[in-house]
Amino acid sequence: MRIEKILLEPRIATQRLLLRPPSEVDRDAIVDEIDDGDVVRMLARVPFPYTREDALAFVKSARDSAARGTGVNLVITENDLAIGCIGLADLRRVNELGYWLGRVHWHQGLATEAATDFLEWCFDKLGIDVVRSGAFFDNPASLRVQLKLGFETVGTSHRPSLARGYAVEHIDTILTRARFAEATQ
């Protein structure tokens, strides 16, 4: 099956969540959750303030990257309401994992739950063997999620942060299919 077909309509049900492609109906919920300085400052490519137009551009970009087979971006929903996003960018080259949750959803295990099932789907359906990720140095919660999933720290770099307006130290991580299987069995 062509990768573009797989990427267009994935639906991944976890114990408490549903991960699905974003649509225009998610616009306001996405803005409500991400337009928060504490959330957006931990992300590299998200502007602040975050507007309805930004959310619509994200929905279009998610659809376009899936159609081209270059990425998969899903909303994390709880009770059919978008509470965050998760995705894999630069498929077949870098396979970079990114994710976020609105602040009221932190410290409930939801990021780990979403990332576990999403990565399982990626390894199974996309046939990839390695995923890269990381977090800004001042985001230990995201690094804890990654370590639970089997990611290993491989170095540091500096990444631009649109919300902060400057490059921030980034802790780079990597996950192999084998380490993920070990960590999640």
pLDDT in tens, 13-35: 999 999 999 999 999 999 999 99
Local confidence band at 2 (pLDDT 50, 70, 90 cut-offs) = low
Cα torsion for 160, 107, 20, 172, to the nearest 10°? 30
C-alpha to C-alpha distance for 112 and 124, rounded to whole angstroms: 18
Phi, psi of 22 (to 5 degrees): -75, 155
pLDDT (mean) for 140-158: 98
pLDDT in tens, 76-114: 999 999 999 999 999 878 999 999 999 999 999 999 999
pTM, two decimals, is 0.95
Task: Print burial letters for 125-153: b (CB count within 10 Å at least 16), e (below 16).
Answer: ebebeebbbbbbeebeebbebbeebbbee
Domain positions in the chain are 3-184
3-state class (DSSP) for residue 88: strand
Pick the CATH number of 3-184 from 3.40.640.10, 3.30.70.20, 3.30.390.10, 3.40.630.30: 3.40.630.30
Strand partners, 100: 85
